[in-house]
Amino acid sequence: MATHVKPTPSNARADFYERIGAHSLAPLWEVLHNLVTPQPVTTAVPAMWRYADIRGFIDEAGELITAKEAERRVLILENPGLPGQRCITTSLFCGLQYILPGEVAPSHRHTQSALRFVIEGEGAYTAVDGERTTMRPGDFVITPSWTWHDHGNPGNTPMVWMDGLDIPIVRLLNGSFAEKYGADEQAITRPEGDSPARYGRGMLPLGERPTSLTSPVFNYPYDRTREALEAMRRRDQWDPCHGLKMQYVNPLTGGWAMPTIGTFMQLLPKGFKGAPYRSTDGTVFSVVEGRGTTKVGDQVFAWGPRDIFVVPGWTSHRHEATEDAVIFSFSDRPVHDKLGLWREERGRS
């Protein structure tokens, strides 16, 4: 009579896992330490794109395909730690869009929220739901979710701007919808400057107001931002980690200008040596003025005007400025705030 051999614990478990796997089940106890981690873990890595190194590729893209053919002629800034995922952090997309004189990027809309931060050139416009705004370097422009938008360049010089979108967030939630307008340019129904006149002067019109979660002011001009930074400089109250950092806001609520993307501008005075800092939101930085360095983890990025670098969430970094520097940045902090997940950690300089 054959003797039954009792399987060892490891063999019994393997057999059990195989059998439950056929029923689309899996043992949590084998993977819990990877799912619920003691601290944030990301495969995104610190990275930098020096504008001088990639500017030639932008021109080359302009020779290879028209803005109309491409619909959006954009070179994606893909995080080296996230190959093939087409994103700069696990939750954000970033790219550089190029539009030549006389071109129009056709009108469309999508559920993803988008920002434009102008890097180079002058004279192009963005049209959003019937209103145009002319874009200049340093301007922060919003395309709210599900609004018709197109871009055109009636000027004489090429324009480059940075696109930031919440594509990975919308993809995670399976909420992506998109439509083409049916014509290259949408009908213009409001004069340029209508939105800032209604909502950007410290006053609000009585009666019905926008119900969107996004700011009704969709262009925040750099000259006004720079003026605000200089006014705040006179108070000489510098944050030990950020220098002087200001948040773009929705004038209707005083909260974030966009529901899923936080946007900021900061001034680092010449000689600034920041204290180490980390927070749970992954952040993309775009240098407007000045030069300096940022140590991210064990890497040091030496940056200047138009350079872009990314700091993944919960990654220690510290800024130093060799001359007065102004830096735009965007992150997924509004989502962290809404979900009660946001944390920061400050070190000493």
Query: Hey, CA dihedral for 58, 62, 64, 68, is it positive or negative?
Result: positive
Listed in sequence order, the residues at least 6 apart from 206 whose beta carbon sits closer than 8 Å to its beta carbon are none
| Helical H segments across the chain, by residue range | 9-21, 32-35, 51-64, 67-70, 167-172, 194-199, 222-233, 333-339
Residue 6 reports pLDDT greater than 80: no
Q: Would the pLDDT of 2 be above 60? A: no
Q: What's residue 142's pLDDT? A: 98
- Range(s) of the domain holding residue 108: 47-201+214-346
What is the count of structural domains for the chain? 1
pTM, entire model: 0.94
pLDDT greater than 70 at residue 200: yes
The verdict on residue 155 lying in a domain is yes
Q: Identify whether 295 is part of a domain.
A: yes
d(CA 8, CA 276): 51
Residue 143 lies in a domain: yes
Out of 7-21, 85-99, 242-256, which region has the weakest mean confidence (pLDDT)? 7-21
What CATH number has the domain bearing residue 137?
A: 2.60.120.10
Tokens representing 338? 């809404």
| 219 belongs to a structural domain | yes
Residue 10 belongs to a domain? no
Residue 8 is predicted with a pLDDT of 61
Query: What distance in Å separates the CA atoms of residue 342 and residue 335, rounded to the nearest whole number?
Result: 9
Is-contact 142 212, C-beta < 8 A? no
Residue 167 lies in a domain: yes
- Answer whether residue 154 is part of any domain: yes
Using an 8 Å Cβ cutoff, are 108 and 180 in contact?
Answer: yes
**Domain annotation covers residue 17:** no
